[in-house]
Amino acid sequence: MLIKNVTILTMNSNKDIIERGVVVTDNDKIIDIGGEELIDKYTAHEIVDGEEGILIPGFVNAHTHCAMIAFRSLGDDVPDRLKRYLFPLEKMLVDKELVSLGSKYGICEMALGGVTTFADMYYFEDEVAKSTKEIGLRGVLGETIVNFNAPDADEPYGGLEYCNWFIDKWKNDELVIPAVAPHAPYTNDTLYLQKAFKLAEDKDVPILMHIAEMDYETEKYMHEYNLTPVQYLNSIGVLNSRMVGAHMIHVNDEDLKILKEKEVGISHNIGANAKGAHGVAPAYKMYNMDLKIGLGTDGPMSGNTLDITTQMGLVAKVHKLYNNDRSIFTADQILEMATLGGARALNLDHKIGSIEVGKKADMVIVETKSINMQPIYDYYSVLVYSANPSNVSTVIVNGKVIVKDKTLLTQDYGVLIKEFNKIKDKVVEAASSL
């Protein structure tokens, strides 16, 4: 495949920009990058005309729960939503069918918004894996482990056994990377956190967890151990480079040193954190310390959207305001976190995150013809501050075009909407009882 008539933002170490650029792929790999001279060199390839769009690496959503889309727009303004609203709803309603439907719909939304890789934690994660394969995204998928009976586990910590089976089933898949996902320190005791960590080590897979998100989490570990959540996790030996911590809001300088030393991946989820009034993570300090930080949406009941374009503008604006400095977090740094940063956090930067020869052909064309996209003086700025998900015109994952002319080729999400309409009454009834 030969992609032409684009401006390429490579996101390589030099952040090279190639105007009137051309990228050539062979199967799932990028094999050449350059100018229009490549058009004559590769005459037998399928042609994708970018129509003067901007070609970027695919967005990486470093943390979400995509099947939770079944509950989007419920409980948005409820205090302590997690314990008072979400956990009870999941207990009443979440089953294999709901996760299958919700994950398909959520993955459709991500694909149309230019997300090519995502990290997910939920229940019945096998259904999420099937949806990921069906629609054609790349997923780091973790089965949730909690200290209570879960929708897919009849006893506390039953997710650990499910993880073992799930990892073995998907371990060598081309697009699905199975993971272990203890929900949070406060929903897992020390022994089971260590068991989850050992399973990840033994199976050589990532481990995903919410860390330092809640104020009561910070209070708990300070009261019980005189440690922060990060320091507690470090003390029990479960932090290393395979850990991807979501949120990391309530962290201090000592925590950041630990995260740097242990090479922990971080998902910064500004939209969900702001909406939940949880606080602002020190993301700018993390970035400047060269921590492995990417961007995530959290679940669509927490942040309501699954696209990364929305997150980029929020990250830039919130941190400028929070730090009272409009010069920090330049647009190219924000796009870096949305692409290569997320890949680093997930330990996939050797495969994805930048447009370079030898990497996977995971790329997105953002069209520049819509009214909100002109004029363009700075490509990074227009993507971070002007663009929205509907400007994504083409999405390529693993060398396969899955979105063309803003149309998803691998799934009819209109059918999924009709399926959601069939279960809405049941969801409303359950929600009204809370």
Q: What is the pLDDT of residue 105?
A: 96
**DSSP letters of 205-256?**
--EEEEES--HHHHHHHHHHHSS-HHHHHHHTT--STTEEEEE--S--HHHH
CB 293 within 8 A of CB 346: no
> Alpha-carbon distance 340 to 11, whole Å?
7
Q: How many CB atoms lie within 10 A of CB 14?
A: 7
> E strand or H helix at 191, and its extent?
helix 190-203
pLDDT tens-digit series, residues 68-96: 999 898 878 878 777 777 888 888 999 99
pLDDT tens-digit series, residues 7-64: 999 999 999 999 999 999 999 999 999 999 999 999 878 999 999 999 999 999 999 9
Share of the chain above pLDDT 70, in %: 100
pLDDT tens-digit series, residues 248-300: 999 999 999 999 999 999 999 999 999 888 999 999 999 999 999 999 999 98
Mean pLDDT over each residue of the chain, to the nearest integer: 96
Share of the chain above pLDDT 90, in %: 89
- Fold designation for 59-345: TIM Barrel (3.20.20)
Beta bridge partners of 24: 2, 32
Q: What is the pLDDT of residue 302?
A: 86
CB 158 within 8 A of CB 150: yes
The domain 2-57+359-398 is classified under which CATH number: 1.25.40.10, 2.40.10.10, 3.30.450.20, 2.30.40.10? 2.30.40.10
CB 249 within 8 A of CB 213: yes
CB 109 within 8 A of CB 135: no
In the chain, the amino acid numbered 419 is E
Position 159 pLDDT exceeds 80: yes
Position 200 pLDDT exceeds 90: yes
pLDDT bin (cut points 50, 70, 90) of residue 424 is confident
Q: What is the pLDDT of residue 434?
A: 78
Q: Where does residue 328 rank: exposed (0-12), middle (13-18), buried (19+ CB within 10 A)?
A: middle
Residues of the chain with CATH 2.30.40.10: 2-57+359-398
CB 182 within 8 A of CB 188: yes
CB 340 within 8 A of CB 57: yes
Residues of the chain with CATH 3.20.20.140: 59-345
Q: Where are the alpha helices (DSSP H) in 269-386?
A: 270-275, 283-288, 308-322, 331-336, 342-345, 379-381
150: which DSSP letter? B
